[in-house]
Structures are given as C-alpha cells and as structure tokens.
Structure 1
Amino acid sequence: MTPSQPHHRTALITGATAGIGRAVARQLAADGIHVLAHGRDPERGAQLVKEIAAEGGSARFLTADLTGSAEVLALAAAAGEVDILVNNAGIYAFTGTADTTAESFDRQFAVNTRAPFLLVGALAPAMAGRGHGVIVNITSTAATSPAPIGAAYGASKAAVELLTRSWATEFGARGVRVIGVSPGPVRTAGTTAMLGDNVELLGRANLRERIGEPDEIAHIVRFLVDADSGYINGTVIVANGGEPSALPA
C-alpha cells in the first residue's frame, strides 16, 4: 500500500523557464500541483505562468541569481512551504581544465551544487517535520562518463549524485524521498546553441539512436513525485537511451 498523496501540493522548480525545467513545470501543473517556477528572465517567467494558467494549472514566477548564496536563501524563503523541490537549474562550460578559469569553476559549482545544497537545507527540514516531501535532483550523465572537456561540470553533477544519496539517508526515515535523474543529451535551446548539429550526432551514440526530448525527462519527474513511486529513494535514474555494450561484436 502506498501512503496517501498530500492534496494541493506545491513544487519549487529551479531553472523552470526553459528546457527540461519548463517541461517539468508544465507536467506537474497539469497534475494539479501549484508550481513555483524559478528563473532569471521575468519575461519568460510571465509567459510560462500564462501558458500554465491557460492549460488550467496554477503557477507563480520567482526570480533569483543562484550564483549568490543570499539570493538562494531568499528564494527558499519566498517559496515558503513546499512539498516538492526539483533542483534543475544548471550551467556548464565544456572547456579543458587549463582553459577553465577559477571564476568559471566557482560559478558552475555555485549553481549546480551549492544552490541545491542550500535549498535542501532550507526546505527539507520542514518537509520532514510534516512527514512527507520529494526532492528530485536533475544531474547529468557527465557525472559518470569522463570526457576530455567539461571536468568541472561533470564534477559538480557528480557531487549532486552523492548528495542525493546522503540526503535520502538524512531525511528518508522522516518521509522525505530524494531521487536523482541523470539525462543523456537532451534537445534544448541551450544544447542546440552550444553544439549545433553535433547534438544529433550525440544522440546516435545511444541504443535508441536519437537525442532525448525535455518532455521525456519531465515524465520521469512526474512519476517520481507521485505516491506510486513511493518505494524509490536514494538512487539516480539514468535516462540516456541506453549505452552500447562494451563487449566486442
């Protein structure tokens, strides 16, 4: 038997105005969850809120620069009582180690690792106090697949995967589930702008022979925040189309 689902739930989604975050926001709103959509662009935030309302959902836009710890904590305070936290916002610089500046390294870790850490610290204890809550961390296959570029980005996401397991241990007994979702290449405006046609080439390297779509990741998140997934905790779900076998043909 699964535990009863809390009614009128609220979800804070970081990086919700584009790509995977936007797809997650729309999916959860379609399920009747009130969405707190974080982003940096008020215009895109207003458009998302308008679209969700037109589809019968409920949403509010919150802005914060996740590179600043004070703004992250202010975001948590503005969100108030939430039942679901989706740590989706992320930045990347696919450069070699020698070409990655200290500022770039710090910025990637600030947004990708420190911001989720601070948000969980601010919001998870109240979830535990109420006896229910779900935290979903969007990581990346870069966390487990070493490459000659992007070491800082991969390390920042690898840290989040360890934090996912640590938080599940810390809060799981008090009703808070913590799960990671690790997507492979996904078709977003950001990846297309950075990689161009190479995005499609990346997709051909997996067993599905195609790139992923934001809605496919959002469907996974939608399932994970539902009571039907109540026995899933402290793990990272990989959604990368399937890795080819390492065995020789």
Structure 2
Amino acid sequence: MGMRLAGKTALVTGSTSNIGRAIAEAFAAEGAHVVVSGRSAARGAEVVEAIRARGGRADFVRAELDGSAAASRALAEEATRVLGGRVDVLVNNAGVYPADSTAATDEKTFDEVYAVNVKAPFFLTAAVAPTMAEAGGGAVINLSSWIARLGISVAALYSSTKGALETLTRSWAAEFGPQGVRVNAISPGAILPSDAEVAAIGAGMMKGTPAGGMGTPDAIASAAVYLASDEASFVHGTVLDVDGGRMGVAVVAA
C-alpha cells in the first residue's frame, strides 16, 4: 500500500463500477479514506468490502445525483460527516451516456443527461470547494472524455456535456485556485467496459493510435492519484488526456 494520499479524504461519485471504482480503489491503496458513492447499495458494499479486505479505508454513501442542488448538497454533507469533517479530494465521475442521434433525442432525455453530467457536479463542487478552501486547500478532479473535442456520430448530447465540464474545470481553477483548491480534469480515451459489443466499437476507434487498443480503468485511476496528490501541486485548470494518443497523434487506420 502506498502513501501518496496518506491522511487525505476523498469523495468519488459513480464509484461502484468501472472507472469510478478503479479510482476509489487506487485512492484507498494510496492511503486515503474514501467515500464510495452511487445508486446501488449492493454494488457499493461490494467495493467497500474489497477495499477493506486489502487494508484500505472506505465507506459507502448512497446518492441519486439527479441534478438538483439539494441532492448534491445532501451527498456533500453526508460524505463530510462520514469522512470526519472534511473532504480533501472530490472526483466528479458519475455520468450517463445515451448513444443516440440528435433527431432521436427527446427533451426529457436532454434534460436528464445535463442534470446528471453537468448540474450535479456543478452543485456538488459548489457545496464542497468553498469548504475545502476554508480548511486550507484541496483538489477537484472532473472526468471528461476524448469525444468532447473530437466529434463522433450518436454522441452530440453526451459530448456537449463533457465539453461543458472541461469549461467548468478552467473556470473553477480560476475561481478556487487562489483559495488553495486545485481543479483539473481527466479525459479518458476508449476504456474497456464490461459490454462486449461496446468494447468492439471502442477497439475500432483506437486502431492506428500509439497505444493500438483500448485502455483500462486502472490507467485513469493512476492519473487521478497523481492529480489528487501533492505531486500535482503546480497543476491547475488542465485537462489531462489519458487516451492512448488518440487526441494528440494523427491516427492512421489499418
């Protein structure tokens, strides 16, 4: 078990599976006390049990982040209580991805996706960052996506929410950075999911990249550990691409 986050506390939203779970487990392995958060108590308990079995500290707080300020405040308050009075690191990871065309997207879906992907992290950060500042500092890490900056079909709605989150990252860095709160984002490339059909599509998108294939949730978790740690003390307002070179290198499909 490492010590890069020893003595720190962290709240990771959407951390009962995939990237969020990997981040929660990596934080705990590096010494942080982690609040695992999500909608499923059963999956949350499984993550907490796995972390504790390896000697880490973790607790589950159920949250239905529907975009309302009240829901975000409730999570912030309960996580702060569970973590002993402070949150040092906030990871805004929870999100939804409806793959559909613009014409096929109805208003209800549009509002729901923006509520979860933009409004929820907005009001959660509003609830947590000022308290971090009062306590002397902290770190906020937002999860974006490579398709926020490289358009693909059937992703207009989702991509736009991640573009908004990248803009918020820079704005929050300007707002909270002078108060000791670092705000950055991670932009994952195609990451291995549990769904075989989705994995096949993602693998196709990564052909011709330097990595040559999809990444793993652990790769994103490693980047999150860095941004949460004191090693990143001079990093503000950046979007860290962890995408196998998909955005930075010309892709030549085989």
Q: Give per-residue Cα distances to partners, 1:176-219, cap 9 Å, x unaligned.
A: 00000001110122xx2662522322222422111010000000
Is 1:37 paired with 2:40? no
Q: Which amino acid aligns with 2:227?
A: L
2:213 is matched with which residue: 210, 213, 217?
Answer: 210
In the alignment, structure 1 segments of 5+ residues that lack a partner are none
Shift of 1:6: 8.3
Shift of 1:246: 6.9
Measure the CA separation in 2 of the matches of 1:237 and 1:222.
12
**Aligned ranges for residues 61-210 of structure 1 at < 5 Å?**
61-69=60-68, 70-80=70-80, 81-189=86-194, 192=195, 195-210=198-213
Normalised TM-score (structure 1): 0.92
Identity of aligned residues (%): 42
Partner residue in 2 for 1:235: 238
Q: Give per-residue Cα distances to partners, 1:65-119, cap 9 Å, x unaligned.
A: 1114122221111112200000011101111111011111111111111111001
Normalised TM-score (structure 2): 0.90
Residues 154 and 206 of structure 1, relative CA distance in 2, 3 Å threshold:
same
Partner of 1:197: helix, strand, or coil? helix
Tell me if the contact between 1:20 and 1:188 (Cα under 8 Å) persists in the aligned partners: no
Shift of 1:7: 5.6
In the alignment, structure 2 segments of 5+ residues that lack a partner are 81-85
- How many residue pairs match? The answer is 241
Residues 246 and 196 of structure 1, relative CA distance in 2, 3 Å threshold:
closer
Partner residue in 2 for 1:46: 45
Aligned-residue CA RMSD (Å): 1.7
Q: Runs ≥4 in structure 1, deviation > 3 angstroms?
A: none
Measure the CA separation in 2 of the matches of 1:193 and 1:36.
30
Tell me if the contact between 1:84 and 1:135 (Cα under 8 Å) persists in the aligned partners: yes
Tell me if the contact between 1:32 and 1:57 (Cα under 8 Å) persists in the aligned partners: yes
